[in-house]
Chains A and B, each alone.
Chain A
Amino acid sequence: MEEKISFFKRPAIQTLLASVICAVVGIILGYIALYIINSEHAADSMKALLVNFFKFRVVKGPLLMKNFGSFLVKSVPIILCAEAILFAYKAGLFNIGVAGQYTVGIIASIYCSLALGWSWPLCLLAAILAGAFWGFLSGCFKAFFNVNEVIAGIMLNWIGLYICNIVLGRPECMNQSKSETYDLAANNPDALLPGFMQEFFGNNKYISIAVPLTIIVAVIILIVLNKTTLGYELKATGHNKDAAKYAGMNAKRNIILTLVISGAIAGMAASTIYLTGIENFKIASSVPGMGFNGIAVAFLGGLNPIGAIIAGLFVEYISLGGQYVDYNYYSPEMADLIISIIIYLCGFVLFFRSILSRPGRVKVNANAEPDDTATKAEEKEV
């Protein structure tokens, strides 16, 4: 009986194992980098980065829960971006344009809430539509003009960024004296997403329905990809466009649809942070890193919608930890460095997993060797 469980769970265990190895090696390499820069304070800073906001556990009261709440709020957009990326990746498209779709989502959510004074359902919808439209553009370039979606996505990222700076730099949105957009809570409280379990998180007023919404989105993606005809068609098109066309699927429509859905999720990600009021937009000179961190999360989560939630929490935890290192010796970008090392290692993870799962796929007799690989996996776990 035990054999059976380990046989069925094998891919999941592998994914988990591979991701954990990735994360641990990333942290170790980060520590080495800290050590090279300044050997005396490396251990302290790494500890501060890993302990993170849990250092508030010694203080009695709601401070820990409040920080935990803010951590959840900030993890939401990164998880949604990862969902957007993995959805497209499963359908065979590397949607690096998520960063740009996220950026136009920012434009829509802030402009609609501050300049037009709309309430939150409309703002949320506007952000989703804006992201979907940006995804539609890169989908059209891919489907009709055969432009590689990565290149098109990157060009659209920069175009989106500059449009964002133009639109949000206008006096309706931008508080010129602080050089960031106006506070949403003071100017249009209707546009704030409704709260969710705020008392539980030490009266953290930023916790909103975005948190449960993220979980719902993840579950929907899981179902759509694995249980519906639509998901099957999108995946088939990703595997082989010509074969899908031959089987009677509309390949062009499927490519565009994939990027539209992916873009919609990315646009929604932007509204889940800019409609809570936790952050105001500042004029940026480079494309927001959220979409790129989403790539890390998607791959670290083993390209699984639920795995992405866990990986998203982890990545956000590390990047939040960057604030706690000693600025006298290190820069907060240390966290970005660790995250990017982890993404790089993710490239090896797919290789690692394909090696491990290869015998299972090729074999005719399924009972002969699984025991062997299962015990190997267990050994590695120990």
Chain B
Amino acid sequence: MVLLIQYTLIFSAVLILVALGGMFSERSGIINLGLEGIMVFGAMAGGLVMVAMADKPKATIIICTLLAAALAGMLASLLIAVACINFKADQTLIGTALNMLSVAAATVIVKGYNTARSNAKDVSAKLDYVKGHNAFVIQIGKLQISWFIIIAAILLVCAIFFFYKTKLALRIRACGEHPQAADSVGINVYAMRYIGVLMSGFLGGLGGIIYIAAANSTWHYDYGVAGAGFLALAVMIFGQWKPERIAWAAVLFALFRSLSNVYMGIGFLHALPIPGTVYNMFPYIVSLLVLAFTSQNSRAPKAEGIPYDKGAR
């Protein structure tokens, strides 16, 4: 049971951050299907830093890892921003391309790193960062908590405050609903959309490193992040593009997601005569059903997915 809580906390942290990222991007008017790719880039940068800095003091590892992941995520999101905002590219296509690009690039880079490090003895796409993983762990009684979760909680509070209480957020939201109207009162739509996408990169990158490092101490980069970015998108839709609702939705999804990791340890679930793979399917089936019931009257930002054209009427 402790394990279930632990995993639920970790996956909620991931889903909250990434879904909030998606929310900011979509509120500014850009559909961010590349969240998965952003997560992979964040995970790769953070993982590499954790391996390279394994001997440094804990605080340095924590700060550098988080910074690297967030920066990598923002760089990745720039790929989306430039193509979708300046060049008016098809946002779905660019997101998909980023997802593919990220997995291929992460595999190539990590393999190259391993090959160079081991004189071509180790050519796998696997990173081993036990020390980095341990640096983040705090033990409270039986429960193992990670610094990651605390950071996610802080960021959630900041995001809620930012979203409802600041001028900047109001402007971003205006650009997602009616960019022409926003432009007419002097808001720079392009800049707002850049901010929205870069925020999604920041949060997505952090989500990526949490996904791979909070529960594991090794990761195979050729798997990407196994659809976590898309689960976060489902969380975002279920949360109706509002931060506090997203937080609750994320906890619900995280519970189902963690079942596949811990069902072995829960007596009655383990005794059921169904193969373990079924539990892997669970979060996806649940999110499909949830989406089916919530999408009918969804309040998606009106202008999302439509490139802003200054001359359009």
Q: Which residues of A contact B (CB under 8 A)?
A: 33, 37-38, 94, 96, 141, 145-148, 150-152, 154-156, 158-159, 162-163, 165-166, 285-286, 289, 292, 295-296, 299, 327-331, 333-334, 336-337, 339-341, 343-344, 346-348, 350-351
In the bound complex, what is the Cα–Cα distance between A147 and B120 (angstroms)? Answer: 47
Q: Could you say which of B79, B88, B292 contacts A147, with CB atoms under 8 Å apart?
A: B292
- Contacting chain A: which of B11-19, B98-106, B165-173? B98-106
A150 B105 Cβ-Cβ under 8 A:
no
Q: Could you say which of B97, B100, B103, B125 contacts A331, with CB atoms under 8 Å apart?
A: B125
| Closest chain A CB from B63 CB (angstroms) | 27
In the bound complex, what is the Cα–Cα distance between A343 and B107 (angstroms)? Answer: 18
B104 A156 Cβ-Cβ under 8 A:
no
**New contact pairs (13) apart from A145-B296, A146-B296, A347-B94, CB-CB < 8 Å:** A145-B291, A147-B291, A151-B291, A152-B288, A154-B230, A162-B278, A166-B278, A331-B112, A333-B111, A340-B105, A347-B90, A348-B87, A350-B93
CB neighbours (8 Å) of A155 from chain B are 230, 234, 284-285, 287-288, 291
In the bound complex, what is the Cα–Cα distance between A151 and B238 (angstroms)? Answer: 12
CB neighbours (8 Å) of A334 from chain B are 108
In the bound complex, what is the Cα–Cα distance between A165 and B90 (angstroms)? Answer: 33
Digit string of B80-100 for contact with A (CB within 8 Å is 1, else 0)?
000110011110111011111
Interface residues on B, range: 35 or more
Q: Could you say which of B93, B123, B288, B293 contacts A156, with CB atoms under 8 Å apart?
A: B288
A351 B89 Cβ-Cβ under 8 A:
yes
| Closest chain A CB from B287 CB (angstroms) | 6
In the bound complex, what is the Cα–Cα distance between A297 and B199 (angstroms)? Answer: 31
CB neighbours (8 Å) of B230 from chain A are 151, 154-155
B206 at the A interface (CB under 8 A): no
CB neighbours (8 Å) of A350 from chain B are 89-90, 93
A348 B89 Cβ-Cβ under 8 A:
yes
With A145-B295, A344-B101: A150-B33 Cβ-Cβ less than 8 Å: yes
Q: Most chain-B CB neighbours within 10 Å: which of A33, A163, A330, A340?
A: A340
In the bound complex, what is the Cα–Cα distance between A328 and B66 (angstroms)? Answer: 32
In the bound complex, what is the Cα–Cα distance between A289 and B103 (angstroms)? Answer: 11
CB neighbours (8 Å) of A344 from chain B are 79, 83, 94, 97-98, 101
Kindly report which residue of chain B lies nearest to residue A350, judged by CB atoms: B90
Q: Which residues of B contact A (CB under 8 A)?
A: 33, 79, 83-84, 87-90, 92-94, 96-101, 103-105, 107-108, 111-112, 115, 120, 123, 125, 222-224, 226-227, 230, 233-234, 237, 275, 277-278, 280-281, 284-285, 287-288, 291-293, 295-296, 298
Q: Could you say which of A151, A156, A158, A333 contacts B107, with CB atoms under 8 Å apart?
A: A333
What's the dominant secondary structure at chain A's contact region?
A: helix
Q: What number of residue pairs across chains A and B have CB atoms under 8 A from each other?
A: 143
| Closest chain B CB from A298 CB (angstroms) | 10
CB neighbours (8 Å) of A158 from chain B are 227, 281, 284
In the bound complex, what is the Cα–Cα distance between A296 and B98 (angstroms)? Answer: 12
B277 A162 Cβ-Cβ under 8 A:
yes
With A344-B83, A347-B94: A151-B237 Cβ-Cβ less than 8 Å: yes
CB neighbours (8 Å) of B224 from chain A are 286
A343 B89 Cβ-Cβ under 8 A:
no
Q: Could you say which of B84, B284, B293, B296 contacts A159, with CB atoms under 8 Å apart?
A: B284
CB neighbours (8 Å) of B108 from chain A are 33, 37, 330-331, 333-334, 337
Kindly report which residue of chain A lies nearest to residue B86, judged by CB atoms: A351
Q: Could you say which of B33, B98, B104, B227 contacts A337, with CB atoms under 8 Å apart?
A: B104
B295 A154 Cβ-Cβ under 8 A:
no
B93 A346 Cβ-Cβ under 8 A:
yes
CB neighbours (8 Å) of A329 from chain B are 115, 120
Kindly report which residue of chain A lies nearest to residue B94, judged by CB atoms: A347
| Closest chain A CB from B275 CB (angstroms) | 6
B89 A147 Cβ-Cβ under 8 A:
no
| Closest chain A CB from B288 CB (angstroms) | 5
B234 A299 Cβ-Cβ under 8 A:
no
In the bound complex, what is the Cα–Cα distance between A123 and B123 (angstroms)? Answer: 39
B100 A162 Cβ-Cβ under 8 A:
no
CB neighbours (8 Å) of A285 from chain B are 223, 226
